[in-house]
Amino acid sequence: MIRPSARLESLPKYAIHELAVIKRRMLSEGIDVIDLSAGDADFPPPAIAVEALREAVGDPAMSRYPFQVGLAEFRRAAAGYIERRFGVTFDPAKELLPLIGSKEGLLHLGLAVLDPGDVCVVPDPGYPAYIGGALLADAEAELVPLRAEQDFLVELEELPPDKLARTRLVYLNYPNNPTTAVAPLEYLERTVDVCRRYDILLAYDNPYCEITFDGYLAPSIFEVEGARDVAVEFHSISKSFSMTGWRLGWAIGNPDLIALLNRIKTYVDTGAFMAVQKAGAAVLDEAETLLAPLRERFRERRDAAVRALADIGLPVEPPRGTMYLWVPLPSGVGSAAFAKEVLENEGVVLMPGTAFGQGGEGYFRIALTVDSERLTEAVQRVGRALERLGAPRA
C-alpha cells in the first residue's frame, strides 16, 4: 500500500473542500442551500475583463508559456495601481511577480525561506495557506492566538525569546480573514521594527484592502518606513474584482526577496495564463471606477446581515473591512457541531471558526456572497438552529 508522506499527513483537513462535497449532495437532493462559506461573491466579473479576455484568447501569442516573466502589460498595470492606491513605487520588472492567485505565492514563499527547525508564525485562526507554507517546508508552525481583547492582532514580542530568535517568517493579514480586524498603522510600524531587529521575513497578505467601509482605507505594509527590508506583500484580483476563478495575483517587495519567490515558482509552475493577465491589466487600470460600486454593494449586504444577526441575539460590530462577519457563538456551543447542525437541518453553509484553526473555536464566519434578502433568510435559519439547541440569547 502506498502511504502518504508525513508532511502531507501533518496538514489539517481543508474545511471548504469538505463542505463543498456536502453542499453538492444536498443540492442534488433538491434542498434549498444558501452557501455563506467561501469568500466567492455572486457578482459578475467586470465587463472590461471579459472583453479583454475574449480578445486575448484570439491572439496565439497569449497561449504560449508565460513563465515567471508574464505579461509586461500586467506588471505595469499592477505597479501603477499600487502607486496610485498607496503612494509607493515598485519596479514592475524586478520588484513585482505575477502569481496564479495570491494563495500559491503565500504558500510557496514558505518553501523558499524556511528550513527544518525554523519557526514560522501563523495567526490562529488564519487562512489555511499560511500553516500549509510552514508545514510543507518542515518548519515549526508557531500558532499565535488572535484574541478579541487584543483586537485580533499578532504581537510578535509576546513570543518567548527563544522562539522569536528562531523565527524566519511571519504571516500577517489585515483586513483580517476570518476575524475582519483591521490593523492600526502604529501596530504595523512596531511589527516591522521587530522583523528588522530579528531578520524575520514578513509575508503581508492584503487581498481585502479594497473591501473596506465607513471611510476606512486599508494601508500597504510599504507605507511603513523600513518595510522594504523585510516584507513581501501579496495582492489579488479575486475578491476586489469578483474574479476568484480567474486565478491571478501578484507579490511586491525588494528585488532580493522577490527573486526568492521567483526561483521556487520556476520549479512548480510556468506562470498565469497571459490572456488572464491581459484581463487583469484592464481592471487594474480602471480600478478606481470599478471598485466603488462593488464596495457599496458589500456594505449593503454587511448592514443587512448585521441587522439580522442582532434580531436573533447574535450582535456583532459592523466590520470596517473584508467580505465577512465573524460571529461569536453563545457559551458552550461548539463551532463545528453548530455548523453541521445548520447545514444538515437548515441548508445554510457556514464556516465554523475551527476551520481556520483551534483559535477560532466559539465563532463562525459568514461570507457576504449572496444578496441581502438571502443573507437575512440565512441568518433567520441560523436563529432557528440556535433555538433548537436552547442557546441563550445575548
pLDDT above 70: residue 393: no
| Residues 230 and 303 placed together within one structural domain of the fold | no
Domain boundary among 266, 288, 310: 288
| Residues 56 and 86 placed together within one structural domain of the fold | yes
Weakest-pLDDT range from 12-21, 177-186, 366-375: 12-21
| Residues 98 and 180 placed together within one structural domain of the fold | yes
| Residues 63 and 80 placed together within one structural domain of the fold | yes
pLDDT value at residue 392 = 64
| Residues 274 and 296 placed together within one structural domain of the fold | no
pLDDT value at residue 16 = 67
pLDDT above 90: residue 317: yes
pLDDT above 90: residue 311: yes
Domain boundary among 242, 271, 288: 288
Q: What is the pLDDT of residues 194-242, one digit of tens each?
A: 999 999 999 999 999 999 999 999 999 999 999 999 999 999 999 999 9
- Tell me the residue length of the chain: 394
pLDDT value at residue 221 = 98
Residue 244 lies in a domain: yes
Model confidence at 15, in pLDDT bands (50, 70, 90)?
low
What is the H or E stretch that residue 116 is in? none
Residue 394 lies in a domain: no
pLDDT above 70: residue 394: no
| Residues 131 and 268 placed together within one structural domain of the fold | yes
pLDDT value at residue 199 = 97
The CATH number given to whatever domain includes residue 98 is 3.40.640.10
Write b or e for each residue in 138-148: b if 16 or more Cβ atoms lie within 10 A of its Cβ, otherwise e: bbbbbbbebee
Residue 322 lies in a domain: yes
pTM of the model: 0.95
| Residues 24 and 170 placed together within one structural domain of the fold | no
The CATH number given to whatever domain includes residue 36 is 3.90.1150.10
pLDDT value at residue 238 = 96
pLDDT above 70: residue 172: yes
pLDDT above 80: residue 321: yes
Decide the pairing of beta strands 96-99 and 249-253. antiparallel
Residue 163 lies in a domain: yes
Q: What is the pLDDT of residues 73-87, one digit of tens each?
A: 999 999 999 999 999
Mapped onto helix, strand or coil, the DSSP state of residue 111 is helix
For residue 367, the enclosing domain spans 6-45+290-389
Q: What is the pLDDT of residues 263-309, one digit of tens each?
A: 999 999 999 999 999 999 999 999 999 999 999 999 999 999 999 99
| Residues 22 and 92 placed together within one structural domain of the fold | no
pLDDT value at residue 30 = 87
pLDDT above 90: residue 109: yes
Residue 93 lies in a domain: yes
Residue 265 lies in a domain: yes
Q: Of all residues in the chain, what percent carry a pLDDT higher than 90?
A: 89
Model confidence at 19, in pLDDT bands (50, 70, 90)?
confident
Residue 1 lies in a domain: no
Integer Rg of the chain from CA: 21
Rounded to 10 degrees, the C-alpha dihedral 76/78/84/88 comes to: -90
Q: How far is CA 67 from CA 4, 56, 64, 233, 375, in A?
A: 30, 17, 9, 21, 42
Residue 212 lies in a domain: yes
Mean pLDDT of the 113-138 span = 96
| Residues 73 and 37 placed together within one structural domain of the fold | no
Model confidence at 11, in pLDDT bands (50, 70, 90)?
confident
Q: How far is CA 199 from CA 9, 249, 275, in A?
A: 30, 26, 38
pLDDT value at residue 153 = 98
Decide the pairing of beta strands 231-236 and 119-124. unpaired
| Residues 218 and 141 placed together within one structural domain of the fold | yes
| Residues 274 and 298 placed together within one structural domain of the fold | no
| Residues 57 and 157 placed together within one structural domain of the fold | yes
Domain boundary among 228, 259, 288: 288
Query: In the chain, how many domains are there?
Result: 2
Q: Across the chain, what does the average pLDDT equal? A: 95
Angle at 40 between CA 38 and CA 46, to 5 degrees: 170
